[in-house]
């Protein structure tokens, strides 16, 4: 049975299984019909021209892993940022793991979507925010139709969360192929501040398809720093759909580090609904083999006097392929917008490919919008310079690549995340140097 | 120290060096002068091992060992240092971290442990003082946005840190004002010893007032066509190169 049919036929059972509140039920049904109509994206769609899910979708996924699987912390410790204290919301095959998690209701809610969707005390927040900015496209609709579990984070006014929050989704591979669809909702009220680290990690070589949707709402003066660490196994694919709405004077940054996985598609969408907003989108992609990473970004400048800063660096070796599609829309009303987009790529191998497309739609006349896109090779003169000083070619290359990507790391605010990423890059490049630049 | 015999080299099938001979002994300072396009920088790059150049004939020996098949980093580990005419900008890598990496990779190649951080810092402090380099300068990205003088001073700073056996200074004086020139020359002189050697490639006699050569060679059309003592540099400064070209005809 094809995956779509399998999903469609299991919807009724799913709906009967979850504790229903009628509004959520309506949202789910509408999304379900949407997906039923649209199906999975194909390369015929402009937005999916360079990324094909066909091969992935041929797996016989178990779509609602029901078993409660457990894992030992020692076995997965390395996937956590474990050298600092953090809140943790951890899922194993889509099920909440209270054992690995560290949640709170003390002055804020760092807990579960399933609770938020079913308990009355969260009703108002859910009514105001759930599925309010997520698109009605095929994969987001598919997630919405089955939205049930994930992270629920609510930070009230003036609260600065004292430590970062980690959201980690493990898949055990106890089924030969697993599909999971986490659904996260993050609401950060006025003048509040939170840092979030998100990771999807398969623990075996069995196939995994993750279709995650995250909605983030940043109220006036709120600050949100979001770090996505994507370094999954070769058989794990990820579609990350993130939607962020910002209000006046808020600052939201999303750093995406894509170092592994089969097919990784990031749909990152920012909507600026207020003035003096700053949106920061940064990413480092370092891949090889047949890995594929696709960044589709959207920044919608709706009101005047806002800024957006995009900086994506990509390093592609062997037969890996990359996509960068950076869309910036500046509404007619959004005067004095300052939108900056930078996308630089290095192709290490002549078999590697990058498809880069800046897409600017500007309807206001008093704006500063710049975009730069480069595709190149490593600078041989710089490499010779390093070798001349005694740094071997491999280490020299690694140092150059690290330096190339470093503009993205500079803005990482959690030192432990920065050092972890630095180590991942060194491992990725096969060198043992500190890069303490 | 360095012995180059009948060196022929080309780039993209264009012959640049056409039978060059030179011998540099430990403790000596040699100056190589010559008109533009004579092959001075090519010589420097070939000794350092730049891959774009093809050595078609001849040998390059360092302390009796043929180095012409060695990778650039291996030559560096054997004590060859090239101060670049145009030092490359490497954004994102600080001067300090670059030199640390260079020193520790060189030590690694010799089977030594990393230099203890304390010793490294002490040496960086000493050598930066020698070149009158501001501490803040060391945390900047390598050569990025440096003035001409800063780039050259940084080259000599790295030379001081790496303590090479053979240093080739490729037009280290270009782009330097008189104060920077004095600082750079002073640095080179302090690093000079009986155990190392320096080759100074320059257009002008100016630098040689500060770094006094034992030998001055004229490189023209891929060959050393004349060798003399320091007074040859003065003569070249006064008369240009035409008289040498005429002598050759």
Q: Are residues A436 and B48, on separate chains, in Cβ contact within 8 Å?
A: no
Domain encompassing residue A410? 384-437
pLDDT digits (tens, 9 = 90+) for B187-209: 999 999 999 999 999 988 889 99
Which of A388, A433, A437 is the closest to B72 by Cβ?
A388
**Mean of all residue pLDDT scores within chain B:** 93
Domain assignment present for A39 = yes
Q: Is B115 helix (H, G, I), strand (E, B) or coil?
A: coil
Domain assignment present for A259 = no
The enclosing H or E element of A11 equals: helix A3-17
Task: List the single residue in A with minimal CA-CA distance to B101.
Answer: A391
**Mean of all residue pLDDT scores within chain A:** 94
Q: Are residues A390 and B103, on separate chains, in Cβ contact within 8 Å?
A: yes
pLDDT digits (tens, 9 = 90+) for A103-150: 999 999 999 999 999 899 999 999 999 999 999 999 999 999 999 999
Written as six digits, the tokens of B92 are 């994102």
Of the residues A313, A344, A382, A388, the best mutation for testing chain B's interface (the one with the most B CB atoms within 10 Å of its CB) is A388
Q: Are residues A391 and B73, on separate chains, in Cβ contact within 8 Å?
A: yes
> Which residues of B are less than 8 Å from A433 in CB distance?
101
Smallest CA–CA distance, residue A351 to chain B, in Å, is: 23
Which of A278, A319, A269 lies closest to A298 in space, CA to CA?
Answer: A269
Q: How far apart are CA A24 and CA A7, in angstroms?
A: 19
Residues in chain B: 249
Domain assignment present for A203 = yes
| Per-residue pLDDT at A436 | 57
Domain assignment present for A367 = no
pLDDT digits (tens, 9 = 90+) for B111-151: 999 999 999 999 999 999 998 898 888 999 999 999 888 99
Which of A390, A407, A433 is the closest to B76 by Cβ?
A390
Angle at A354 between CA B143 and CA A412, to 5 degrees: 55
Of the residues A378, A389, A392, A435, the best mutation for testing chain B's interface (the one with the most B CB atoms within 10 Å of its CB) is A389
Task: List the single residue in B with minimal CA-CA distance to A407.
Answer: B92
Both ends of chain B: CA-CA distance in Å?
A: 33
> Which residues of B are less than 8 Å from A397 in CB distance?
none
> Which residues of B are less than 8 Å from A426 in CB distance?
none
Which of A380, A393, A399 is the closest to B101 by Cβ?
A399
Chain-centre distance for alpha carbon A184: 11
pLDDT digits (tens, 9 = 90+) for B62-89: 999 999 999 999 999 999 999 999 999 9
Q: Is A270 helix (H, G, I), strand (E, B) or coil?
A: strand
Smallest CA–CA distance, residue B159 to chain A, in Å, is: 9
A22-31, A89-98, A179-188, B153-162, range with the lowest pLDDT: A22-31
What DSSP letter does each residue of A111-169 carry, written as one string?
EEHHHHHH-GGGHHHHHHHTTSSS--SHHHHHHHHT---SEEEEE-TT-B-SS-EEEEE
pLDDT digits (tens, 9 = 90+) for A293-339: 999 999 999 999 999 999 999 999 999 999 999 999 999 999 999 99
Which of A381, A388, A400 is the closest to B76 by Cβ?
A388
pLDDT digits (tens, 9 = 90+) for A15-40: 777 656 668 889 999 999 999 999 99
Which of A379, A392, A404 is the closest to B92 by Cβ?
A404
HSE-CB for B152 with a 13 A CA cutoff: 25
Which of A384, A395, A404 is the closest to B105 by Cβ?
A395
Q: How far apart are CA B119 and CA B117, in angstroms?
A: 6
Q: Is the pLDDT of residue B162 over 70?
A: yes
Which of B49, B52, B102 is the closest to A389 by Cβ?
B102
Domain assignment present for A120 = yes
Q: Are residues A404 and B102, on separate chains, in Cβ contact within 8 Å?
A: no
Helices (H) and strands (E) in chain A, counts: 10, 20
Q: Are residues B90 and A384, on separate chains, in Cβ contact within 8 Å?
A: no
pLDDT digits (tens, 9 = 90+) for A191-223: 999 999 999 999 999 999 999 999 999 999 999
User: Which of A164, A185, A214 corresponds to the end of one domain?
Assistant: A214
| Per-residue pLDDT at A70 | 87
- Average pLDDT in the A245-272 region? 97
Written as six digits, the tokens of A204 are 């075996």
Q: List residues of chain B with CB under 8 Å from any CB of chain A.
A: 48-52, 71-73, 75-77, 80-82, 84, 87-94, 97-99, 101-103, 105-106, 109, 141, 158, 162
Smallest CA–CA distance, residue A309 to chain B, in Å, is: 19
Q: How far apart are CA A222 and CA A159, in angstroms?
A: 10
User: Which of A214, A243, A263 corresponds to the end of one domain?
Assistant: A214
| Per-residue pLDDT at A437 | 46
Q: Is the pLDDT of residue A1 over 80?
A: no
Q: How far apart are CA A240 and CA A180, in angstroms?
A: 12
Q: Are residues B162 and A389, on separate chains, in Cβ contact within 8 Å?
A: yes
Smallest CA–CA distance, residue A431 to chain B, in Å, is: 12
Q: Are residues B76 and A395, on separate chains, in Cβ contact within 8 Å?
A: no
Q: How far apart are CA A316 and CA A346, in angstroms?
A: 6
- Average pLDDT in the A167-192 region? 95
| Per-residue pLDDT at B152 | 92
Angle at A199 between CA A198 and CA A204, to 5 degrees: 165
Task: List the single residue in B with minimal CA-CA distance to A408.
Answer: B92
Domain assignment present for A326 = no
> Which residues of B are less than 8 Å from A379 in CB distance?
88
Of the residues B53, B72, B87, the best mutation for testing chain A's interface (the one with the most A CB atoms within 10 Å of its CB) is B72
User: Which of A214, A242, A261 corresponds to the end of one domain?
Assistant: A214
Domain assignment present for A311 = no
Q: Are residues A403 and B72, on separate chains, in Cβ contact within 8 Å?
A: no
| Per-residue pLDDT at A20 | 62
Smallest CA–CA distance, residue A393 to chain B, in Å, is: 8
- Interface A-B, measured as beta-carbon pairs within 8 A, has a size of 83
Q: How many domains does chain A have?
A: 2
Of the residues B77, B78, B93, the best mutation for testing chain A's interface (the one with the most A CB atoms within 10 Å of its CB) is B93
> Which residues of B are less than 8 Å from A400 in CB distance?
90
> Which residues of A are less than 8 Å from B103 in CB distance?
390
Smallest CA–CA distance, residue B167 to chain A, in Å, is: 11
Domain assignment present for A296 = no
Is the whole model's pTM more than 0.90, yes or no? no
Pairing of strands A278-287, A251-258: parallel
Residue spans of alpha helices (H) in chain B: 40-48, 72-77, 95-109, 117-130, 148-162, 178-191, 206-210, 230-239, 242-248
Domains and CATH numbers, chain B: 2-248 (3.40.50.300)
> Which residues of A are less than 8 Å from B99 in CB distance?
389
Instruction: Give percent above pLDDT 70 in chain A.
Output: 97
B177 band by pLDDT with thresholds 50, 70 and 90: confident
> Which residues of B are less than 8 Å from A392 in CB distance?
71, 73, 105, 109
The enclosing H or E element of A52 equals: none
């Amino acid at each position: 049975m094809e995956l779509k049919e399998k999903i469609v036929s299991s919807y009724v059972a799913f709906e009967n299984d979850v504790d229903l509140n009628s509004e959520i039920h309506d949202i789910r049904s509408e999304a379900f019909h949407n997906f039923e109509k649209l199906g999975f994206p194909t390369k015929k769609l402009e937005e999916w021209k360079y990324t094909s899910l066909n091969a992935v979708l041929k797996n016989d996924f178990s779509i609602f892993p029901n078993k409660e699987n457990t894992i030992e912390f020692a076995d997965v410790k390395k996937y956590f940022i474990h050298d600092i204290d953090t809140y943790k919301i951890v899922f194993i095959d889509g099920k909440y793991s209270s054992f690995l998690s560290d949640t709170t209701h003390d002055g804020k809610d760092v807990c579960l979507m399933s609770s938020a969707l079913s308990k009355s005390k969260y009703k108002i927040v859910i009514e105001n925010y759930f599925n309010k900015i997520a698109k009605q496209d095929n994969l987001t609709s598919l997630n919405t139709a089955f939205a049930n579990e994930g992270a629920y984070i609510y930070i009230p006014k003036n609260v600065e969360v004292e430590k970062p929050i980690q959201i980690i989704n493990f898949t055990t591979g106890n089924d030969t192929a697993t599909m999971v669809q986490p659904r996260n909702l993050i609401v950060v009220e006025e003048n509040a501040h939170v840092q979030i680290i998100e990771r999807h990690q398969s623990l075996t070589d069995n196939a995994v398809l993750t279709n995650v949707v995250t909605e983030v709402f940043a109220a006036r003066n709120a600050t949100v720093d979001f770090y996505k660490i994507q370094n999954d196994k070769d058989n794990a694919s990820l579609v990350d759909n993130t939607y962020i709405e910002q209000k006046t004077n808020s600052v939201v940054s999303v750093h995406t580090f894509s170092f592994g996985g089969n097919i990784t598609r990031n749909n990152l969408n920012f909507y600026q609904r207020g003035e003096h907003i700053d949106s920061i989108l940064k990413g480092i992609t370092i891949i090889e083999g047949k890995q594929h990473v696709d960044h589709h970004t959207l920044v919608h400048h709706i009101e005047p006097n806002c800024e957006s800063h995009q900086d994506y660096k990509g390093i592609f070796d062997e037969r890996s392929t990359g996509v960068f599609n950076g869309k910036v829309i500046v509404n007619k009303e959004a005067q004095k917008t300052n939108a900056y987009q930078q996308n630089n790529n290095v192709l290490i191998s002549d078999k590697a490919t990058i498809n880069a497309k800046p897409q600017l739609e500007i309807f206001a006349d008093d704006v500063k919008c710049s975009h730069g896109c480069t595709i190149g090779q490593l600078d041989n003169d710089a490499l010779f310079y390093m070798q001349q000083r005694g740094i071997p070619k491999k280490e020299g290359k690694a140092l150059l690549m690290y330096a190339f990507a470093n503009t993205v790391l500079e803005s990482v605010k959690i030192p432990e995340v920065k050092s972890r990423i630095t180590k991942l890059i060194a491992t990725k490049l096969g060198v043992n140097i500190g890069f303490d630049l | 120290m360095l012995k180059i015999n009948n060196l022929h080299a080309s780039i993209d099938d264009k012959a640049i060096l056409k039978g060059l001979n030179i011998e540099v002994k430990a403790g000596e300072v040699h100056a190589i002068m010559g008109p533009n396009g004579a092959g001075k920088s090519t010589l420097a790059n070939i000794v350092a091992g730049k891959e774009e150049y093809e050595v078609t004939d001849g040998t390059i020996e360092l302390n009796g060992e043929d180095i012409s098949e060695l990778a650039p980093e291996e030559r560096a580990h054997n004590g060859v240092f090239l101060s670049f005419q145009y030092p490359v900008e490497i954004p994102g890598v600080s001067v300090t971290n670059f030199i640390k990496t260079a020193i520790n990779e060189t030590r690694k190649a010799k089977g030594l442990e990393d230099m203890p951080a304390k010793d490294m810092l002490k040496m960086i402090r000493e050598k930066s003082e020698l070149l009158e380099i501001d501490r803040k300068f060391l945390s900047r990205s390598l050569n990025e946005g440096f003035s001409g003088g800063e780039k050259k001073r940084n080259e000599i700073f790295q030379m001081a840190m790496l303590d090479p056996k053979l240093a080739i200074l490729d037009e280290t004086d270009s782009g330097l004002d008189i104060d920077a020139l004095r600082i750079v020359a002073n640095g080179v002189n302090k690093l000079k010893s009986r155990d190392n050697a320096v080759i100074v490639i320059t257009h002008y006699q100016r630098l040689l007032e500060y770094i006094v050569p034992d030998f001055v060679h004229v490189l023209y059309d891929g060959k050393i066509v004349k060798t003399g003592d320091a007074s040859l540099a003065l003569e070249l400064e006064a008369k240009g190169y035409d008289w040498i070209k005429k002598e050759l005809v």
